[in-house]
Amino acid sequence: MAEPAETRFNCPNCSAQYKVVKVEAPALANVEEVNCLNCGAALQARDGKFLLKYFLIGPKTKRDRRKR
Ligand SMILES: [Zn+2]
């Protein structure tokens, strides 16, 4: 079984870390809105014929990088 296509994604709004998995979707499938679980920002839900599934893997990372 081939490894699923997996990419990392950071919410452009809150920088929450996601693992993104592409799943092939029927052409007529309804595309649900996807929102960031952390901040609610709209995320890309579809890439061509693939649906994008987001899995939150990191707690929200503060904008400052580990200072204070
Ligand atoms: Zn977010």
DSSP codes of every residue in 14-28: T--EEEEEEEE--TT
- Asked which of 21-25, 32-36, 60-64 is least confident by mean pLDDT, the reply is 60-64
- Computed over every residue of the chain, the mean pLDDT equals 84
Confidence check: pLDDT of 65 > 80: no
For residue 40, report the distance from its CA to the centre of ligand 1, in Å. Answer: 6
Identify the residue with better confidence: 48 or 19. 19
For residue 62, report the distance from its CA to the centre of ligand 1, in Å. Answer: 11
For residue 19, report the distance from its CA to the centre of ligand 1, in Å. Answer: 13
- Average the pLDDT over 19-41 and give the result: 87
Residue ranges per structural domain of the chain? 6-56
Nearest-CA neighbor of 46 among 58, 34, 55?
Answer: 34
Q: Give the confidence band of 49 by pLDDT, cuts at 50, 70, 90.
A: confident
Confidence check: pLDDT of 22 > 80: yes
- Which residues, chain by chain, have CB under 5 Å from ion ligand 1? 11, 13-14, 16, 36, 38-39, 41
